Amino acid sequence: MSFLPISKKDMEERGIERLDFVYVIGDAYVDHPSFGHAIISRVLEAHGYSVGIISQPDWKDGNSITVLGRPRLAFLVSGGNMDSMVNHYFVSGKHRPTDAYTPGGEPYKRPDHATVVYGNLIRRVYKDVPVIIGGIEASLRRMAHYDYWSDSFKRSILLDSQADLISYGMGEKSVVEIAEALDSGIAVKDITFIPGTVYKTKDTGGIYEAVELPAYEEMKAHPAKYAESFQIQYCNTDPFTGKTLIEPYPNGVYVVQNPPQPPLTTEEMDGIYELPYMRTYHPSYEEAGGVLAISEIKFSLVSNRGCFGGCNFCALTFHQGRTVQVRSHESILREAEIMTQDKDFKGYIHDVGGPTANFRHPSCQKQMTKGVCKNRQCLFPKPCPNLEVDHSDYLSLLRRLRALPGVKKVFIRSGIRFDYLMADPDDTFFRELVEYHVSGQLKVAPEHISDQVLKYLGKPRKEVYEKFVKKYTKLNEQLGKKQFLVPYLMSSHPGSTLKEAIELAEYLRDLGYMPEQVQDFYPTPSTVSTVMYYTGIDPRDGKKVYVCRNPHEKAMQRALIQYRNPNNYELVREALIKGGREDLIGFDKKCLIRPRKTDGGNTGGYRKPVGGKRESDSRRRADEGKRESGGPRQSDRRTGRKKTIRNVHKKKK
């Protein structure tokens, strides 16, 4: 085994005169199956194609794209494991000081909107070589979309990048079909028939049973039309029922999205994850200090893909789909055994999961023949009567992993869907989760406790979370454990006014808990919540929804969640007054802050919680998935100059 070529010298050593594909990526080159570029390149290699990697080229220098020569078939382009704009910026617009996907954590090593910039760079240098874009950035921007960072409505990334095709979703099947079509001599402009791809055309005459979306110019002029378009797209993300979608643009151009690729079988998943990965970053990064992003996933195991949870702020429906796909126990165990032989392995498997750890099969058998329901969620607003709730397969897998020689502990750090857990009448998995698989604290995501906001989040009602907390506490007591829950909470999500933000603060007061990190809603491309943010309309029913866009109100909502922080006193006080809740300013135990002193000073607003809990610094540092204030949960680049994002918080007219 060896890394793929990154230089002409590597090509010569492998006896490669000309590569079939040159893969341009926005991340450092990490040959591990948690990185999209590693999977796609190894899948192509397994099908007999040679692939070379150009990582983080200098986008201001055309020569940076020529280091591996002209590819025989095409350039592949990916902005990285995250949308490059999410990777670069906090929700406030402030640039992140480090980049975990760059050697040594160095920022500014790729441009804003990386896929667009790389695509145009290639097109300037190689005018007639096919350019295929993919990865999460291209996948979530494949049709017209709202871009939060420029506060604008953008065209399909296919047009802005000057690429020929988009391979959307996870891409393993479509990229092989694209390769075979190009290799057989089919011109890239004629590759219009592959599921999981998006192409551009001026002739839609041969497209049958397609749905025409509102035109780009119409959506740009009337945001309500975008809400309408998005709902159509959202209902066509399933490979069994999805239709071809056509989006008209000026000058007779159409962007056409083919239906998604079918879900991978267990055998296909096994084959992909057992390709000959080097399982680490390229050795050329050693001098810079390596690549931080490898630290947690190096000893983690991917067991599934897809999610039928349907959270409105999550882009998984658009990218991976709602059908859960799984690897076999044997494949996962083989990977775990390889892991235990690593010199750095200390006996701890950090995670066994995926988008949602405790989903190990489709939500119902109907999905495998008829597809997912278009207008009904599996878990929201309550579990579907057809939902199959069963943790036995996941439980069996975890038991087998725990029994492996050299394994001391198997942790679960992917998200646990607590409403699915509570729907299981058998609490065996819940008990063993608490007993064996929690590393001192379990991260869960209620997101909010106002049923009004939860409705827009697509999350279960408050009472479901409260029942979960009660059961978790009881099981810890029975097992003699002192393990905490770390709830992820979100401020300023569409539907949340100061009233709901104060309601959340009161809940935290009663709980005696002050979160040290708060997620301010981050409008990432192609989510239901982002459509609400941009249009002020819930695309599911066409009704208006309140949207907090004012940066000062957003700051107040965020401060209310951390009302005990002395630095937040003025914001909390202002929020309580504006919200008509001055009863919460006083000395009573139900008050959030104390009144100011008569001499004009103030108490700082901090009251130590009685018997309350606070995340310790050590736990916080140990939390590999921590979210900085305003940061993303996830997953376009800077020009290298420090500047302020223009109009990022500009109020809609």
User: What is the rounded distance in angstroms from the CA atom of residue 44 to the CA atom of residue 288?
Assistant: 29
User: What is the rounded distance in angstroms from the CA atom of residue 641 to the CA atom of residue 173?
Assistant: 38
Q: Return all residues near 653 (Cβ < 8 A) that are at least 6 apart.
A: none
Closest CA to 200 of 282, 132, 262: 132
User: What is the rounded distance in angstroms from the CA atom of residue 195 to the CA atom of residue 193?
Assistant: 7
Predicted local confidence at residue 229, as pLDDT: 98
DSSP string, 398-463: HHHHHTSTT--EE---SPP-HHHHHT-S--HHHHHHHHHS-SSEEEEEEE-S-HHHHHHHT---HH
User: What is the rounded distance in angstroms from the CA atom of residue 169 to the CA atom of residue 166?
Assistant: 10
Q: Which residues pair with 353 in a beta bridge?
A: 302
Evaluate whether 302 touches 322 at the Cβ level (below 8 Å).
no
The H-or-E segment that residue 156 falls in is none
Q: Supply 401's token pair.
A: 């992993």
DSSP string, 280-325: EE-GGGGGGT--TTHHHHTTEEE-EE------TT--HHHHT-SS-E
Q: Supply 353's token pair.
A: 């999961």
Angle subtended at Cα 150 by Cα 198 and Cα 219, rounded to the nearest 5 degrees: 55
Q: Which residues pair with 444 in a beta bridge?
A: 487
Angle subtended at Cα 221 by Cα 218 and Cα 224, rounded to the nearest 5 degrees: 80
Task: Indicate the residue among 140, 165, 197 that finishes a domain.
Answer: 197
Angle between helices 329-340 and 266-273 (to 10 degrees): 20
Q: Supply 445's token pair.
A: 């995501």
Q: Number of helices (H) and strands (E), helices first, in the chain?
A: 24, 26
User: What is the rounded distance in angstroms from the CA atom of residue 409 to the CA atom of residue 406?
Assistant: 9
Q: Supply 118's token pair.
A: 């790389």
Question: Do the domain assignments include residue 36?
Answer: yes
The letter for the amino acid at 525 is P
Q: Which residues pair with 485 in a beta bridge?
A: 442
Q: Supply 171's token pair.
A: 């891409």
User: What is the rounded distance in angstroms from the CA atom of residue 473 to the CA atom of residue 476?
Assistant: 5
Query: pLDDT for 70-126, tens place per residue?
Result: 999 999 999 999 999 999 999 999 999 999 999 999 999 999 999 999 999 999 999
Predicted local confidence at residue 597, as pLDDT: 74
Question: Do the domain assignments include residue 304?
Answer: no
Domain extent, residue 581, equals 486-635
DSSP string, 521-578: ----SS-HHHHHHHHSEETTTTEE------HHHHHHHHHHHTTTSGGGHHHHHHHHHH
Evaluate whether 476 touches 483 at the Cβ level (below 8 Å).
yes
Predicted local confidence at residue 651, as pLDDT: 38
Q: Supply 373's token pair.
A: 């329901």
Evaluate whether 45 touches 98 at the Cβ level (below 8 Å).
no
Task: Indicate the residue among 197, 219, 234 that finishes a domain.
Answer: 197
Q: How many Å is the Cα radius of gyration of the chain?
A: 25
Evaluate whether 301 touches 273 at the Cβ level (below 8 Å).
no
Predicted local confidence at residue 368, as pLDDT: 81
Predicted local confidence at residue 618, as pLDDT: 37
User: What is the rounded distance in angstroms from the CA atom of residue 421 to the CA atom of residue 429?
Assistant: 8
Predicted local confidence at residue 631, as pLDDT: 38
Alpha-carbon dihedral 100, 104, 109, 115, rounded to 10 degrees: -40
Please state the separation of Cα 93 from the chain's center in Å: 19
Question: Do the domain assignments include residue 238?
Answer: no
Task: Indicate the residue among 197, 221, 238 that finishes a domain.
Answer: 197
Closest CA to 525 of 78, 85, 81: 85
Evaluate whether 435 touches 481 at the Cβ level (below 8 Å).
yes
Reply yes or no: is the peptide bond before residue 381 cis, omega within 30 of 0.
Answer: yes
Question: Do the domain assignments include residue 456?
Answer: no
3-class SS of residue 37: helix
Predicted local confidence at residue 607, as pLDDT: 42
Question: Do the domain assignments include residue 324?
Answer: no
Question: Do the domain assignments include residue 50?
Answer: yes
Residue 213 per-residue DSSP state: P
Residue 593 per-residue DSSP state: B
User: What is the rounded distance in angstroms from the CA atom of residue 41 to the CA atom of residue 22?
Assistant: 9
User: What is the rounded distance in angstroms from the CA atom of residue 256 to the CA atom of residue 247?
Assistant: 6
Give me the CATH number covering residue 164. 3.40.50.2300
Domain count, the chain: 2
Query: Which residue positions in the chain have pLDDT lower than 70?
Result: 598-653
Angle between helices 428-436 and 392-402 (to 10 degrees): 30
Question: Do the domain assignments include residue 168?
Answer: yes
Q: Which residue has the tokens 């608490």?
A: 434
User: What is the rounded distance in angstroms from the CA atom of residue 163 to the CA atom of residue 130?
Assistant: 7
User: What is the rounded distance in angstroms from the CA atom of residue 479 to the CA atom of residue 240?
Assistant: 45
Check residue 159 and give left, alpha or beta (phi > 0: left; psi -120 to 50: alpha).
Answer: alpha
Question: Do the domain assignments include residue 300?
Answer: no
